[in-house]
Amino acid sequence: MSTGIQIRNLAKRYGDLTIIPDLSVEIMSGEFFTLLGPSGCGKTTLLRMIAGFNSIENGTIAFNNQVINHVPAHKRNIGMVFQNYAIFPHLSVRENVKYGLKLRKIPKKEMNERVDQILEVTQIKEYADRLPENLSGGQQQRVALARAIVVHPTVLLMDEPLSNLDAKLRLDMRSAIREIQKDIGITTVYVTHDQEEALAISDRIAVMNDGVIQQIGSPHTIYTRPANLFVGGFIGHSSFFAAKRKGNCVVFSDQYQVEMSNLVSDCGEQDVYVGVRPEEILISANETGIPAIVKRSTFLGRYIHYVLECQGCTLLGEHKDLEFTQEINVAERTYSSGDSMMIQVNTKSINVFSASDQTSLIEGVSRNV
């Protein structure tokens, strides 16, 4: 009975400035959908358009295929959670939560039951009669969540709800939000710039940049098989080699080339960028590979993080550094600054992008799954 959101050819402009040129996406009913991207990518703008706080310059937004472009915000029956909580400071916790129910003229008995129930679910019952100023950030955020959910909104919209919390609390709230959302089964659109948060909490993620959705997919897909160079660079810590593709081979340097089994069908020789994550680098058991010198090493407990200078091949980026993490448990030896090593890449997990249009050359990877 939950609601799907259909967005078609949506555009947002402020005067001459185009924030979102042309965006289409379908958010499934009951799913936890995250808009992820760097600041200024238009994710909050999109969320506020769904909420009705931003005007729509072109295209349509529909709830269950009913266009809502001209329905004002207060009639859309949304639940919204704001970055700064936006708790009414002059009302007690209970009155805050009751606010939307009163507007919906819910009978008193039912209203009290629903408030009590949601206070319990969000674990703020003991603070019910306090004023918000006496609550911690995490507690305030629970109030905001309870207030948004208790009205049984069509969709739940969350705008960076955790970014003002400290790291530990963020983790707790993250799982709380996820659990509550799954229990109630409400369609949720969640905005964040924190990729770890997005990966942990979402059913699907839309990675945005410059008002354009770069890729939509499950957290696993987005992380392991980025559809283009932007997504590959934005998610995780990839280093990029400038390399050549010849048939099924990727040539890193005169000394090192690998054969791939999952490249899209051959179109001759072309320039490519190879995205390699720090954990996708292996230390060569023999003399084949890329020779590298350790510039810096940082001990991180379970891992050692190295910054390497590679020889005979080209890396993108200002410093032309290659990042490599070595798991301590399985390490035969560790290295210090100045040591040299021979490295290889894990051909099963690395990503190859066309240098000309920056899209992935891995078979079966698409922008929209």
Partner 1 sequence: MFKKGRRPLDFWTVITALLFVLFLIFLVAPLLSLLLSGFRSPETNAFTLDNFRRFFQKKYYYQALGNSFAISFSVTALVLLVGVPLAYLMTFFHIKGKGFVQILIIISMLSPSFIGAYSWILLLGRSGVVTKFFAHLGIQTPTIYGFGGMLLVFTLKLFPLVYLYVSGAMKKIDTSLVEASSSLGCKPVRNVITLIMPLILPTLLAAVLMVFMNSLADFGTPMLIGEGFRVMPVLVYKEFMSEVGSNANFAASIAIIIICVTTGLYLLQRRVVNKMSFRMTTIKSIEPKTLTGVKGFFAHLYIYGIVLLAIIPQITVIYTSFLKTNGSVFVSGFSLNSYRTMFSKMASTIGNTYLYSFAAIIIIVILAMLMAYVSVRRRNVFTSILDIVTMFPYIISGSILGIMLLMAFNKPPLMISGTAMIIILAFVIRRLPHTLRSSVAILYQINPSVEEAAISLGESPGKAFFKVTAVMMIPGVLSGAILSWISIINELSASIILHTGSTKTMSVAIYNEVFRASYGTAAAISTVLTVTTVAALLIFFKATGKKEISL
Residue 14, interface with partner 1 (CB under 8 A)?
no
Q: Give me the phi and psi of 242, to 5 degrees please.
A: -90, 120
- Shortest approach of partner 1 to residue 77 CB, angstroms? 7
Q: Which is nearer to partner 1, 6 or 358 (CB)?
A: 6
Residue 315, interface with partner 1 (CB under 8 A)?
no
Residue 273, interface with partner 1 (CB under 8 A)?
no
User: Mask 336-365, x = binds partner 1 (CB under 8 A)?
Assistant: ------------------------------
Q: Please list every residue from 109 through 168 that binds partner 1, using CB under 8 A.
A: 144, 147-148, 151, 157
Q: Which is nearer to partner 1, 75 or 320 (CB)?
A: 75
* Cβ 180 vs Cβ 148: under 8 Å: no
Q: Which own/partner pairs from 47-55 qualify as long-range (CB within 8 Å, at least 24 positions apart)?
A: 47/157, 47/159, 47/189, 47/191, 48/159, 49/10, 49/12, 50/5, 50/7, 50/78, 50/155, 50/157, 50/189, 51/76, 51/78, 51/80, 51/157, 52/76, 52/78, 54/12, 55/12
**Count of residues interacting with partner 1 (CB under 8 A):** 35
Q: Which is nearer to partner 1, 106 or 365 (CB)?
A: 106
Quote the CA–CA distance of 261 and 347 in Å, as a whole number. 8
Residue 90, interface with partner 1 (CB under 8 A)?
yes
Q: Please list every residue from 32 through 61 that binds partner 1, using CB under 8 A.
A: 51-53
- Shortest approach of partner 1 to residue 262 CB, angstroms? 45
Quote the CA–CA distance of 232 and 230 in Å, as a whole number. 5
User: Bridge partners of 23?
Assistant: 10
Of 2, 6, 18, 83, the one binding partner 1 by CB under 8 A: 83
Residue 75, interface with partner 1 (CB under 8 A)?
yes
| Torsion on CA atoms 134, 139, 145, 146, rounded to nearest 10 | -70
Of 26, 40, 73, 117, the one binding partner 1 by CB under 8 A: 73
| Candidates 36-44, 77-85, 283-291, 329-337; binding stretch for partner 1 (CB under 8 A) | 77-85
Classify 322 as helix, strand or coil. Answer: strand
Q: Which is nearer to partner 1, 86 or 169 (CB)?
A: 86
Q: Which is nearer to partner 1, 188 or 209 (CB)?
A: 188
- Shortest approach of partner 1 to residue 143 CB, angstroms? 11
Q: Which is nearer to partner 1, 71 or 200 (CB)?
A: 71
How many other CB atoms are there within 10 angstroms of residue 54's CB atom? 18
Residue 190, interface with partner 1 (CB under 8 A)?
no
- The DSSP secondary-structure symbol of 324 reads E
End-to-end Cα distance, the chain: 24
Residue 186, interface with partner 1 (CB under 8 A)?
no
- Shortest approach of partner 1 to residue 166 CB, angstroms? 20
* Helices then strands, each counted (H, E), the chain: 8, 21
User: Could you tell me the strand order of the sheet in which 204-209 lies?
Assistant: 78-81, 155-159, 187-192, 32-36, 204-209, 212-217
| Candidates 79-87, 241-249, 302-310, 337-345; binding stretch for partner 1 (CB under 8 A) | 79-87
- Shortest approach of partner 1 to residue 90 CB, angstroms? 5
Q: Which own/partner pairs from 363-367 qualify as long-range (CB within 8 Å, at least 24 positions apart)?
A: 363/262, 363/263, 363/264, 364/225, 364/262, 365/225, 365/226, 365/227, 366/227, 367/213, 367/214, 367/215, 367/216, 367/227, 367/228
Of 9, 22, 38, 104, the one binding partner 1 by CB under 8 A: 104
Evaluate the CA torsion angle 235, 237, 239, 244 in order and state its sign: negative
Q: Which is nearer to partner 1, 181 or 351 (CB)?
A: 181
Q: Which is nearer to partner 1, 80 or 198 (CB)?
A: 80
Site of interaction with partner 1 (CB under 8 A)? 51-53, 63-64, 66, 68, 70-80, 82-84, 86-90, 99-100, 103-104, 144, 147-148, 151, 157
